[in-house]
Structure 1
Amino acid sequence: MLVPALARAEPVAPGEDGDAITVTGVRQPYRGDFALREIPQAIATIDADVIQENAILRLTDALDLNASVTRQSTLGGLWDSFAVRGFAGDENLPSGYLVNGFNAGRGFGGQRDVAGIERIEVLKGPAAAVLGRGEPGGSINLVTKQPRLGRTFGTASLQYRSFDTVRADADANVALSGAVTTRVIAYAEAGGTFRDTVDQKRWGLLPSIGVGLGDATRLTYDFEWTRVEVPFDRGIVVLDGNFDTVPRSRFLGEPGDGDTVARATGHQVRLQHDFDDRWSLLVGASHRDTRLTGASSDAETLRSRQKLYVDGRSLSRQRRTRRYTSEHSVLRAEIAGSFATGALRHRVLIGGDLDHFDTDQVFTRYRGPVVTAATTDRAGYVLDLANPVYGRFPRPVTTALTDRLDVQRMLGGYIQDQIAVGDRLHLRIGARYDDFRLRVDDRLTRVTGQRARGRISPQAGVVYELSDAVSLYAAYGEGYRANIGADAAGTVFEPEVSRSTEAGVKLVAPGGRLTGTLAVFGMAKSNVLATDPLNPGFSVAIGRARSRGVEVDLTGRLPGGVDLLLSYAYTDAEARSRVLDPNFSFAIEPGDPLINVPRHNLNMQAAKRFAIGARRATLGAGVQHVGARSGETGTDFMLPPHTIARLFGEADLTDAVTLYGAVANLFDARWFANSYAPVWVQPGTPRTATIGLRARF
């Protein structure tokens, strides 16, 4: 079932069959030792069981299960991009996320596979005093599957899904001795997609080792080695608001461009030591290298260069190549403990981190001329939408548009104290100091820009427990995040500054059978990057934005043994600055909605577990509704709302073998995942069926 994130276990009642339903809690890095009801923050968790029963394979699809998270433009399907509570980061980079509490999601390693994920924590709201450097809407933390000391077990599965896609994966936990255990997770996937001529290959190897150094100390090492090969795909075009301009399967690039390849190699090591039952130390380090290379043929976005707006069928295109690499190293340490001063009980976190992040981007482009009566189809690299002929023209020669090295050196320290005043009242105060050293080497202009900044970000919160089941909370926090890059003069951008407030009610029903959160929030941030109107390919940091809304998250088990998931968010996210977006020649005005953020987002799911003879089975259904949202910054182009239904189920064939299946987009709704412009609209996947076998040992 999907359960709230816990730093320690909440009590849980017996199940309908008399067996105890156990929600185990693990003290998480940088989170402290707190029960859900004591935390002045909305938190939701998507666990591995929910991901598995829905036959979800990608992080992007898993995040759809929480309504506070919405999809953003994904660079043609080559990286993860999402907004939490309406705020996303730099649209020219993938969204960052945490892995086991470490900043580890940056870079160009392709869309994250769900293999090896134990649960996904959606840490909403003002948490920057401890986590630091994230978006004010919240942070996504992936908790990976760890070696379980002294045990040997495993699973393997083989599945087939629509569009002739085959996937195999395995997870083996092997005790080498009483104190040393290894866990190896691997997956491989290949096949087609619903997009014409677009096939994909993905594989990954995720081994880890756990070592018990006595009863109070544990050392864990994780390795990541992944690869994605898929054509770059900007999606379809929408002409004059007609979403049926082309079939959703129509590929508008060039198959001859081949695959874009994304690679990632990562290491993470963590050492936890418990001094006693009140104080513990956690130290760790991670390093991750990524690389993305490939070429693409993309629809021209500038109206004056686009022949489609002249004859309604001739799509002018650009040709682009990319070579993006990154190196990311993190070192973190934290002491957590508790003590009393008179009648007050303190639970403190004291820690620091060192973060090095380098990105090297080489980007080249061919762009056709302004369309006139004399402009040839070859000059415009045109594709006929009604009768596409791939490879009709020689590939245009590209020239360098970006050739830049961005270097970030960041040092941070934080302290947090949560004070229990009596049995019901909890006060939280904290602060984080960040020191940034940023350098941008532009090899085209031969200009080097540098900037050094430091800032303290405070945090405060209060929780009042009305009863064992209901608590009220409120929180305020500030954030500080480095903007990557420099303007055309080589001046490095100022960091982004944010302020967030949140208040709500938390429910933990007797026995922990039902948990929920109702939250209201408001956020604002400044130094948001906007496109430079005079220098294509550069940005200026002049933007401000605001988001506010209401959320409801409810999970648990209803009478009759039905597991329930309900997540709803109303989000009003808008620009607060007047700027010019020269890519499309439209002015962005205060009050314009932020791109790809719906006001209404809902996900519901119910699953019933039952027996067929002596075998266990599950049958469930879910629905997602996403409201209308802006499909282009600064215009009235909107993506239509959509509602998607799904079915899933599984049944044990033997004690060790399970047959499972799922159908996504059950009624084959036509929907659109995200958009950057009317000529770059990503169509959603049509009805997709999955069937597979899973074996346990």
Structure 2
Amino acid sequence: MTTRFRTSTALLSLGFLLAPLPALAQSGGEIVPVGVDEEDNSAILVTGVRQAYRGDFAISEIPQSIDVIDAETLEENNLIRLNDALDLNASVARQNTLGGLWDSFAIRGFAGDENIPTGYLVNGFNGGRGFGGERDTAGLERIEVLKGPAAALLGRGEPGGTVNLVTKQALIGDTFGTITGQFGSFDRVRGEADINLAVTDNLSARLIGYIEDGDTFRDTVEEYRWGFLPSIGLALGENTRITYDLEKTRVEVPFDRGIVVLNDDFDTVPRDRYLGEPGDGDHIARAEGHSLRLQHEFSDTWSLLLGGSIRDTLLTGTSSDPELAVSRQLIFIDGRSLSRQRRSRVYDSQQTVIRGEISGEFATGGLIHRILIGADHDEFDNLQDFRRVRPPSVASNSTDEEAYVIDILDPVYGRFPLPTPLPQNNRLDQQSSTGFFVQDQIELTDRLQVRLGARYDDFKLRTENYLTDVDSERNDSRVSPQFGVVYEVSPAVTFYAAYSEGFRANIGTDVTGRIFDPEVSKSVEAGAKLTLLNGALTGTFTLYQLEKDNVLASDINNPGFSVAIGEARSRGVELDVNGRLPGDIDVLLSYAYVDAESRSSVLDPNFSFVIEPGDPLINIPDHTLNVQASKGFQIAGRDAKLGGGVQYVGERLGATGTDFFLPDHTLFRVFGEVAVLDNLTAFGTVANLFDADWYANSYSQLWVQPGAPRTATIGVRAGF
């Protein structure tokens, strides 16, 4: 590992920083999620910060399935990575995470471009396309899983859905804080702080930071990360607010492709066996982002939002990865000599976004219109300098050193000099897009509402290949319409249906330099939204079908490039329930059945794989279930809580165009906390309680990511 701050020193520094703060009620820091107040249908948070692309709607009025994972749920489960948090929603499936260095997931079966991280939004800004490492949950107020296509407003994202991360904002006129320290399995130590300071009556700063250091369950793999995520809020009178957010993060961790599975034997090697090369050192992922938002309320019904963001990321490092080509892989001959490539990466990205929107309400002829009109401009530059050296063909009778072999049954690290990677792909992809959108939701009666909307996108793609001197360019435009209807049967039951078309530019080229056609999609869904027990329990039941064309998959023989696999379809059933049962039992239930498959017959140009109609999409389980329950009580007059959950993930295809499947798994977890003092809470969690063997994702039989064994954490949280 590289030279780093000592975590104990950092924790001590955080303690000194927080010590002088006055003790104020922690409840002052709560932010109410959009749409929780069903009576006044307010989309404004108590902080006065609106969400972009949303308008003034309660969740029950939106013809779309939306699930919210709030900060309390993240905290009580001690979920500190975005991928772990998204496990709570059954519609989200884990995908290949580039050796644990980026976030990758599919919603309703569709994952998007495998060669860049899965896109997600941060306060409505695109924050997931860069290479800043796995997203930490520090500073998150909630995670919104917006299912179904959002292209008619956002102009981006997969038709299966979009994840929007809502960060904790500076609360004007209030001062409070928390500091958290925890120790976990594999000697993991973490400190986290969240301090809101009222600088003046109209200016507040919220300072959020974390630092983490420790081993992992994987041999020789240690991880170090830190982040600083402050927010500044300035009130310019009663009706105008300016918000500035900073993101500054760094991750240092070795690249890790996981384990190998031979002949469907998942015990080929232990799950902790590292098959890379410790001498490669760490991959380093860092990100820096700035966003500025202005909100102005013209009246109770009309408001203006303006915003801009800049985000830069950089991923660098060298790794030793198992060779995937059968013709170059010795392990298929003797069952133990794993031939490896050595790879180096410099992935650099810059993202710039500006946006503006106005929303309001008016009446025409007895009909009430709630309208949202806006525009945005997005520029994304993606530089990938990828190098590698491969083992020779097994037919050449190469030596172990030439094949860069590691013995999977008795690994000896540092056995050979590290090979020098040679240029493979050095390419700059530039995407520029401008969009205009309009949405009108019309209240036809007290119970019936209709939503009409459309977005126009004009985009330009340019690719400069510095190795071949081949430049490619493409311009295109498209209108994406949406239609929805919402009917309130009773205060407890609301039916909805929606149709949308989506559009997403496929960034990058194939190995010949050809820019792909844009991905287009159609989606239809219908369901019911439930509000029970006087609003204490809410739920959504949904049926859907999605179809998309010009789908891409990674080109196995040409890393960094893609191949077109044609059409794909996903259809399924979802049920999400969240709230409180009688007896003050908090419950969370999420179930999804997903049938996601290819609809085309495709032969990879390098004969890497064959895809037939009906073949399942990679890493997508048919059935997924997550259930959780918790209850508060008192111990010796002190507040306490105890809870637990279970997650089931079904069998999944583990390599495109093969019959290799990851087995299903069931994981149990428990968590609890107790207030030992008025402002001090002790907590503990145990994940994978029964130490099950499980596999998070896979790209090939030789790149299988094992899941963590039983993992325990204890900690304390002090409030001020």
TM-score when normalising by structure 2 = 0.93
Alpha-carbon distance in structure 2 between the residues aligned to 1:692 and 1:488: 50
User: Could you tell me how far 1:24 is from its partner in structure 2?
Assistant: 9.8
Q: Residues 35 and 59 of structure 2 are in contact (CA less than 8 Å); yes or no, is this contact kept in structure 1?
A: yes
Which amino acid in 2 is paired with 1:136?
P
Q: What are the Cα deviations for residues 522-579 of structure 1, in whole angstroms up to 9, with x where unaligned?
A: 0011111245699775434352111000000001101110000000000000011111
Q: Which amino acid aligns with 1:234?
A: R
Contact 2:673 2:684 in 1 (8 A): yes
Amino acid at match of 1:541: A
Correspondence for 1:325: 348
Per-residue deviation, 1:26? 6.3
Contact between 1:502 and 1:519, CA under 8 Å: does it hold in 2? Answer: yes
Q: 1:350 & 1:84 partners in 2: Cα distance?
A: 27
**1:284-336 deviations in whole A, cap 9, x for unaligned?**
00000000000000011111111111011111111000000000000010101
Within the candidate set 42, 45, 61, 2:65 is matched to 42
1:103 positional shift: 1.4
Residues 97 and 666 (structure 1), Cα distance of their counterparts in 2 relative to 1, 3 Å cut? same
The partner residue of 2:38 within 10, 25, 30 is 10
Equivalent pair of 1:129/1:479 in contact (CA under 8 Å)? yes
Of 610, 614, 627, which residue of structure 2 is paired with 1:591? 614
The one-letter amino acid paired with 1:469 is A
Is 2:513 the partner of 1:480? no
CA apart distance, 1:41: 0.3
- Counterparts of residues 649-688 of structure 1 (less than 5 Å): 649-688=672-711
Give CA deviations for 1:353-373 in whole Å, capped at 9, x if unaligned: 000000110000010111137
Within-5 A mapping of 1:72-151? 72-151=95-174
> Could you list the per-position Cα deviations for residues 102-131 of structure 1 after superposition, in whole angstroms to 9, with x for gaps in the alignment?
112211000000001000000001322112
Does 2:522 correspond to 1:499? yes
Question: Residues of 1 paired with 2:632 and 2:212: CA distance?
Answer: 29
Alignment of 1:202-241 (within 5 A): 202-241=225-264
- Residue deviations 1:231-268 (CA, integer Å, cap 9, x gap): 00000000000000000000000000000000000001
Distance in 1 separating the partners of 2:533 and 2:669: 31
Aligned residue-pair number: 688
Which residue pairs with 1:264 in the alignment? Answer: 287
Q: State whether residues 241 and 637 of structure 1, in contact with CA within 8 Å, keep that contact through their aligned partners in structure 2.
A: yes
Q: CA deviation at 1:468?
A: 1.0
What do the CA deviations read for 1:206-244 (whole angstroms, capped 9, x no partner)? 111100000000000000100000000000000000000
Distance in 1, matches of 2:492 and 2:31, equals: 16
Deviations along 1:350-394, whole A, 9 cap, x unmatched?
001000000110000010111137221111100011110001011
Q: 1:640 aligns with which of 663, 669, 677?
A: 663
Residue 358 (1) aligns with residue 386 (2): no
- Equivalent positions of 1:160-175 (< 5 A) are 160-175=183-198
Give yes or no for contact 2:149–2:158 (8 Å, CA) kept in 1.
Answer: no
Contact in 2 for aligned 1:3/1:44 (Cα 8 Å): no
- TM alignment of 1:268-287, pairs within 5 A: 268-287=291-310
Q: Does 1:302 align with 2:325?
A: yes
SS for the counterpart of 1:412 is strand
Task: Measure, in 2, the Cα distance between the counterparts of 1:627 and 1:167.
Answer: 32
Per the TM alignment, residue 581 of structure 1 is displaced from its structure 2 partner at its CA by 3.5
Closer, same or farther: CA 535–162 of 1 in aligned 2, 3 Å: closer
What SS is found at the alignment partner of 1:33?
Answer: coil
Determine the C-alpha separation between the residues in 2 that align with 1:126 and 1:672.
Answer: 29
Matched, 1:31 2:83: no
In structure 2, stretches of 5+ residues that fail to align are 1-29
Alpha-carbon separation, structure 1, partners of 2:515 and 2:219: 42
Instruction: Give the Å deviation of 1:626.
Output: 0.1
1:470, 1:537 → 2: CA distance? 48
Q: Which residue in 2 is equivalent to 1:619?
A: 642
Which residue does 2:434 correspond to in 1? 411
Structure 1 residue aligned with 2:18: none
In structure 1, the residue matched to 2:479 is: 456
Structure 2 CA distance for aligned equivalents of residues 176 and 559 of structure 1: 43
Alpha-carbon shift at residue 511 of structure 1 (Å): 2.1
Aligned partner of 1:18 in structure 2 is none
In the alignment, the residues of structure 1 paired with residue 32 and residue 174 of structure 2 have an alpha-carbon distance, to the nearest angstrom, of: 26
Corresponding residue SS for 2:83: helix
> Which residue type is aligned with residue 458 of structure 1?
P
Contact 1:59–1:111 at 8 Å: present in 2 too? yes
Worse-superposed segment, 479-488 or 448-457: 479-488
Taking every aligned residue pair, what percent have the same amino acid on both sides?
A: 64
Distance in 2 (alpha carbons) for counterparts of 1:399 and 1:579: 31
Amino acid paired to 2:137? V
Structure 1 match to 2:14: none
Deviations 1:373-432 (A, max 9, x none): 722111110001111000101111211110000001100010000000110000000000
Residue 582 of structure 1 and its aligned partner are, at CA, apart by 5.8
- Given that residues 130 and 350 in structure 2 are in contact (C-alpha distance below 8 angstroms), is that contact kept between their aligned partners in structure 1? yes
Query: Is the CA contact (8 Å cut-off) linking 2:698 and 2:704 kept in structure 1?
Result: yes
Retained in 2: the 8 A contact 1:656–1:696?
yes
Q: Are the aligned partners of 1:330 and 1:354 in contact in 2 as well (CA < 8 Å)?
A: yes
* Alpha-carbon contact 1:197-1:255 (below 8 Å) kept: yes
Q: Tell me the equivalent position of 1:17.
A: none
Match of 2:181 in 1: 158
Match of 2:626 among 591, 597, 603: 603
- For residues 593-638 of structure 1, the C-alpha deviation after alignment (integer angstroms, 9 at most, x for no partner) is 0000000000000000111232111100000000000000011100
Aligned counterparts of 2:231 and 2:570: Cα–Cα separation in 1: 40
Q: 1:27 to 1:284 in 2, by over 3 A?
A: closer
Q: Which residue of 2 aligns with 1:579?
A: 602
Q: Is the 8 A contact 2:115 2:561 kept in 1?
A: no
- Paired AA for residue 686 in structure 1: P
Cα separation, 1, equivalents of 2:669 and 2:352? 40
Distance 1:232 1:268, change over 3 A: same
The amino acid across from 1:86 in the alignment is G
Q: Which of 397, 408, 422 is matched with 1:385 structurally?
A: 408
**Corresponding residue for residue 540 of structure 2:** 517
Q: Secondary structure at the match of 2:673?
A: strand
Is residue 200 of structure 1 aligned with residue 228 of structure 2? no
CA contact (8 A) 1:7 1:31 kept: no
306-315 vs 508-517, which deviates more? 508-517
Give the Cα separation in 2 of the matches to 1:274 and 1:481: 33
CA 247–533 in structure 1, closer or farther in 2 if over 3 Å, else same: closer
Could you tell me which amino acid in structure 2 is paired with residue 67 of structure 1?
Answer: A
Distance 2:31 2:289 in 1: 29
